Structure 1
Amino acid sequence: MVCLRERMKMGKRSEWVAFCFLCFSLSLQTIQGYKESETARTLKLEQGDAHEVHCSRERSKAAWKIIEEYLMPFVEEERYQISRRCRLHSDNDLYRDQEQHKIHVGVNEWQCGYCRKRFYGENYLDQHFDNRHYDLLNVSHSRCLADICGALHCDLVMDSVPRKTKCNPAAAAKNQHLCESLADTCFPVNGGPSAGRLHEFFLRQFCDAHTCTGGRKPFSRGHRKTRSIFYLFASILTLMLLALFYIFIYMHRRGMKGGTVELKRISKSVQKKKPS
């Protein structure tokens, strides 16, 4: 009987020890799970902050439009190769690869060139790039075209209605200095005849307008006149309609002349039958 009681006591002790051990294990798992969830939240926050790019897409887009229309036609005419050290080079545009993966399907329809998703506006496609394909941006070094917008007069391109603002001499001097440094880097005077001519052209086209004395206007040397597919289609359609119109007029006049001749013949035959 004594042995049986002692075994029962030992069994209860072992059950109590096992219960305590189980509670301790559960508490450790709870603490560990809490730590893991905290770590996961931290990583999510870090990942959420990691794809925030401090570079204006709209101003970068305006800067590239100016480079394409007001500079590149003259560079191509000189058959000059812009160095990659030049901030105007396409490789130094943070968004250039994404912009090249935009597919304009229709008037209000755009498609992502990476994943083929379609959107009803270019702004929605831009948001899609920011949310889904930000990892394709190379942010290892500064390649933001928006940083040189002041030198390239981006505000004139972005504002549909020109704003009359008071000229700031300090800002004008800063933009002129940036503009001249671009001319020196991209088109060095000692880089040959073509580089020298483009250097002078860049100063006249962009830099001279950075003044509060009312000197030259920006883009004084003109720009590239782009002809879109829609413009060509509309032109061809207009020519075809004009051709059909003139053919219709010609056939109508010819028919009128034929009818006049027949009426004259009928009138003559009637006059001959009258005396009888």
Structure 2
Amino acid sequence: MRFSNSKIKWVSLCFCLLLSLRIIQGYKESETARTLKLEQGNAAHEVHCSRERSRAAQKIIEEYLMPFVEKERYQMSSRCRLHSDNDLYRDQEQHKIRVDVNEWKCGYCRKRFYEEKYLDQHFDNRHYDLLNVSHSRCLADVCGALHCDLVMDSTPRKTKCNPAAASRNQHLCESLADSCFPVNEGPSASRLHEFFLRQFCDAHTCKGGQKPFSRGHRKTRNVFYLIVSILTMMLLLLFYIFIYMHQRGMKGGTVQLKRISKSVQKKKPS
């Protein structure tokens, strides 16, 4: 089987382009790795607080608790461990900028990274001084009460329930309900206290049947659904415009034919 010179040149050009892109990507990844290694060499600190679990806890609070708190117009005290001010990583998380699917940018120094985990390492090594470690504010500590494992594990495994662990998590959950929504602070606090017990605490049992987040979560708009809805509306509008113009053209043609037929009848020979 013979190939023409143009096909051979085209294949060679594509191969060179792919090779160049691979070299550039490898260089950028190695540059990111060198930057992180240099930063790690200068870092002499350690924070005993899981960023990943803190992020999961914050996501659960935002989706499964705060919509109901906002609906009640209730102001949580900063003494509540679920308050946003008690998240050690809150400021750093707010300084994450997602530029593209595979590109993240540091909001402090504008450095770019190709994965979120590299940006997390950069925060730990370069911007450690921005963390307020003077107070114990690790949001990951309440993960047991908030069922963080369900959010973090995309493919949950069936494990045997540990009654002792379930009892500890239920006790922690109930203490959060008491401190964040004291029943003596009014009707709103009392309703949120009851809601918190049903939403989070009741599922800490080995008896089965109880599921966390049974009261629902924040309704988020799907971007794809929004785009499809807009396109559908535009197509419907164009369809109705086409029907209107078509009917208008049909009426105009009918009137013109009638006029022609009348003029023809007047010109008949006597």
TM-score above 0.5: yes
User: Does the 8 Å CA contact 1:208/1:215 hold for their aligned counterparts?
Assistant: no
Q: CA deviation at 1:106?
A: 3.2
Per the alignment, do residues 245 and 182 of structure 1 end up closer, same or farther by CA in structure 2, a change over 3 Å counting? same
Structure with higher Rg: it is 1
What are the Cα deviations for residues 77-123 of structure 1, in whole angstroms up to 9, with x where unaligned? Answer: 11111111111011110100001111223333322111122223322
Show the counterpart of 1:73.
Answer: 67
User: Does the 8 Å CA contact 2:183/2:190 hold for their aligned counterparts?
Assistant: yes
Distance, in Å, in 1 between the alignment partners of 2:233 and 2:102 is 27
1:1-276 → structure 2 map (5 Å cutoff): 50-227=44-221, 232=226, 235-248=229-242, 251=245
Q: CA deviation at 1:125?
A: 1.9
Distance, in Å, in 2 between the alignment partners of 1:146 and 1:239 is 45
AA paired with 2:51? R
Distance, in Å, in 2 between the alignment partners of 1:67 and 1:212 is 24
Distance, in Å, in 2 between the alignment partners of 1:128 and 1:104 is 15
Per the alignment, do residues 240 and 192 of structure 1 end up closer, same or farther by CA in structure 2, a change over 3 Å counting? same
Q: CA deviation at 1:258?
A: 7.6
In structure 1, runs of 5+ residues without a counterpart are 1-46, 267-276
User: Does the 8 Å CA contact 2:43/2:125 hold for their aligned counterparts?
Assistant: no
Q: CA deviation at 1:54?
A: 1.6
AA paired with 1:190? N
Q: CA deviation at 1:216?
A: 2.1
Per the alignment, do residues 139 and 119 of structure 1 end up closer, same or farther by CA in structure 2, a change over 3 Å counting? same
Distance, in Å, in 2 between the alignment partners of 1:220 and 1:154 is 15
Q: CA deviation at 1:124?
A: 2.5
What are the Cα deviations for residues 1-44 of structure 1, in whole angstroms up to 9, with x where unaligned? Answer: xxxxxxxxxxxxxxxxxxxxxxxxxxxxxxxxxxxxxxxxxxxx
Q: CA deviation at 1:265?
A: 11
User: Does the 8 Å CA contact 1:86/1:185 hold for their aligned counterparts?
Assistant: yes
AA paired with 2:196? F
Distance, in Å, in 2 between the alignment partners of 1:199 and 1:145 is 20
AA paired with 2:152? M
C-alpha RMSD of matched pairs (Å): 3.3
User: Does the 8 Å CA contact 2:77/2:180 hold for their aligned counterparts?
Assistant: yes
SS at 1:105 equivalent: strand
AA paired with 2:170? Q
Per the alignment, do residues 239 and 184 of structure 1 end up closer, same or farther by CA in structure 2, a change over 3 Å counting? same
What are the Cα deviations for residues 232-270 of structure 1, in whole angstroms up to 9, with x where unaligned? Answer: 55543443344335545665677688889999999xxxx
Distance, in Å, in 2 between the alignment partners of 1:114 and 1:231 is 34
**TM-score normalised per structure 2:** 0.72
Distance, in Å, in 2 between the alignment partners of 1:130 and 1:234 is 41
SS at 1:206 equivalent: helix
Q: CA deviation at 1:212?
A: 0.5
Per the alignment, do residues 253 and 58 of structure 1 end up closer, same or farther by CA in structure 2, a change over 3 Å counting? farther
User: Does the 8 Å CA contact 2:82/2:180 hold for their aligned counterparts?
Assistant: yes
AA paired with 2:176? L
User: Does the 8 Å CA contact 1:51/1:135 hold for their aligned counterparts?
Assistant: no
AA paired with 2:88? L
Taking every aligned residue pair, what percent have the same amino acid on both sides?
A: 86
Distance, in Å, in 2 between the alignment partners of 1:123 and 1:243 is 46
**TM-score normalised per structure 1:** 0.70
Q: Which stretch has the larger CA shift, 237-246 or 175-184? A: 237-246
